[in-house]
Structure 1
Amino acid sequence: MTVVSYVGPDFEPSPPRRPRRRPLTVALAALVPGALLGWVVYEAVGGPDGGSAGAVGTPVSSRAPASPTASEPTDSGNDDAKQPSPTPATSAPATSSPGTSAPAASGPLKGKVIVIDPGHNPGNFQHTAEINRKVNIGTNWKECDTTGTSTNAGYAEAEFTLDVAHRMRTLLQAQGATVKLTQDGDRPYGPCVDERARIGNAAHADAVVSVHADGSAAGNRGFHVILPGSVHAGAADTRPIVAPSRRLGERIAGNFVRVTGSAPSNYIGDGTGLDTRTDLGGLNLSTVPKVFVECGNMRDSKDEALLTSGAWRQKAAQGISEGIVSFLRG
């Protein structure tokens, strides 16, 4: 994936030019628009909290919800059924409908469709009856959705996933891809896990990535990528997508390490950063290559410092995006 420079223009005044210097003047004039374009991209990608300009470990803004108590159960990584947390999250304003995308630019991914699935929803905590409704995932019935987890300081997973998804969308659209989101904080709850799968299927996506963060015990650190196992039951048949999904997951894992510097999980995947599961509706019901990415553990203080940093979230978005690009370009 092409790396875009985010350094803004910084030019020293030029000395008086003699006529014989005119070719240099023309060359400098040609460079100025490119530098200004880099600055515009920086401003667009930076995000409301400083984006890639932030420092690692910088706290998130005060709009995060209150902290869960230490006695609350931690999340064991059961993504489709993370235990609902009593911690409310601030709902994002409605900006676009799920599955919409700005017109794609020309680039190496022109003609490719990528679906980003930001895990959970900021409004889920207000709709516990709806998200606890069971849906069929092929192998069994499971909750429609959950609230997700949060850091000990109250930064909600649903807020994290939307932020990373937005950053990924910007990066991938710059490569020419058509990018669709399963939700953009613009619906009261959900969508349910079966609908999330259907959105990717209906888009005939070339790749789908569900963005999450884990809620395991303190001391458990690192990221992992969840791959679909072979399932053939009811409406679920992952057999055609198991191999391409593994390739997608491997490319994402490798690029995530390279870009973020984060290590693979020390508690899932035996150090590979890869975990295969057959109990997640979002994977079981997919008919296109799809993986989940658990970017880190929100309940570990060291991972929390990363996940709450705008600069690190930009690196996470870039690592995942470059993995997708590597997969799609073969």
Structure 2
Amino acid sequence: MSYTGPDLEPPQPRRSPLRRPLTVALAVLVPGALLGWGVYAATGGGGGTGAAPAAPASTAAASPAADRDDAKESGAGRPLAGKVVLVDPGHNPENYRHTTEINRQVDIGTHRKECDTTGTATDDGYAEAAFTLDVARRLRTLLQEQGATVRLTQDGDRPYGPCVDERARIGNEAKADAAISIHADGAGAGQRGFHVILPGPVHAGAADTRPIVASSRALGERVADRFAGVTGSAPADYLGDGTGLVTRTDLGGLNLSTVPKVFLECGNMRDSKDAALLTSGAWRQKAAQGISEGIVSFLRG
């Protein structure tokens, strides 16, 4: 935008010899245009009030295609523009109030198991479900800043669950480019560290992980590397042979997934030193940052 200072006057336009004929022509045309607009509005062409037509209301549940379109528009120019990430906060803070519902058996392909569990807690009573939801929300913010569309399986908005089979289905229906389930372990005191759980090859019933085993491992390796780098935590010293990577075939959230997915056990809530980290808001922010960097690294290739 140009600016005219206080001691300067803008240049005056030269008068055109055609100015008078143009003025007369406009004097003739404008009343006719105004009359035409009045007829248009009176017959409903202007929406009845002369206001611009209202935009259509959004649907309650966006489709996967809509998720991707939103991601492309809102994240243009950012590394995860057009990507969809499924974040699954393990358990639910209200599960303990609904023991009948969460004990219901569901099919995970290889066998049947409980819909969900209450999860573990620190010795001081800080629940795993509260931890996972907090980290998930922090992670969502970080991923959205990178341009991703983020879907949570629950956001403290459900009375319990969802069940493990539904958690997988939410990621599948979203056609997520990456999915991660956030947890904290309940191992014995003195056992420390994080580990990432990878899906093993399963082909039974509704479960077929064969197409996602390799991509899930790649995701898990990136997450483990960046989680360790950002948080300073070491891989678990009680399983995984010091790699921080464990393969399992008994988890419904992995068995039923058709998109690259891993579980992350961020630490051991039953160990006092790990618990001190897990209960720290500053450390949880580091955890979210490490997970985010791992996902970004995986999705950028």
Q: What is the TM-score of this pair, normalised by structure 1?
A: 0.69
Alignment of 1:60-71 (within 5 A): none
Residue 134 in 1 paired to residue 98 in 2?
A: no
Residue 275 in 1 paired to residue 249 in 2?
A: no
Aligned residue in 2 for 1:178:
149
Residue 199 in 1 paired to residue 170 in 2?
A: yes
The question of whether the paired residues in 2 share the 8 Å contact of 1:182 and 1:196 is answered with: yes
Query: Which among 72, 75, 86 is matched to residue 105 of structure 1?
Result: 75
Q: Secondary structure at the match of 1:167?
A: helix
The question of whether the paired residues in 1 share the 8 Å contact of 2:75 and 2:82 is answered with: no
Give deviations 1:243-292, integer Å, cap 9, x for gaps: 00000000000001110000000001010000000000000000000000
Residue 248 in 1 paired to residue 219 in 2?
A: yes
Q: Distance in 2 between matches of 1:223 and 1:252?
A: 11
Q: Distance in 2 between matches of 1:98 and 1:178?
A: 11
Q: CA deviation at 1:99?
A: 10
Q: Percent identity?
A: 77
- Can you give the 5+ residue segments of structure 2 that lack an aligned partner in the other structure? 1-59
Name the larger-Rg structure: 2
Aligned residue in 1 for 2:49:
none
Q: CA deviation at 1:97?
A: 8.8
Query: Which among 262, 278, 282 is matched to residue 233 of structure 2?
Result: 262
Q: Distance in 2 between matches of 1:304 and 1:123?
A: 21
Q: CA deviation at 1:197?
A: 0.2
Aligned residue in 1 for 2:88:
117
Q: CA deviation at 1:98?
A: 11
Give deviations 1:85-131, integer Å, cap 9, x for gaps: xxxxxxxxxxx999998964331111000000000001100000000
Aligned residues: 235
Q: Secondary structure at the match of 2:242?
A: coil
Q: Distance in 2 between matches of 1:267 and 1:136?
A: 30
| Higher relative contact order, chain-length normalized (CA < 8 Å, sep 6+) | 1
Residue 227 in 1 paired to residue 192 in 2?
A: no
Change (3 A) 1:111 1:98: closer
Q: Distance in 1 between matches of 2:116 and 2:61?
A: 19
Structure with greater proportional helix content: 2
Q: Distance in 1 between matches of 2:88 and 2:267?
A: 17
Give deviations 1:5-51, integer Å, cap 9, x for gaps: xxxxxxxxxxxxxxxxxxxxxxxxxxxxxxxxxxxxxxxxxxxxxxx
One-letter identity of the residue aligned with 1:162: L
The question of whether the paired residues in 2 share the 8 Å contact of 1:98 and 1:184 is answered with: no
Aligned residue in 2 for 1:147:
118
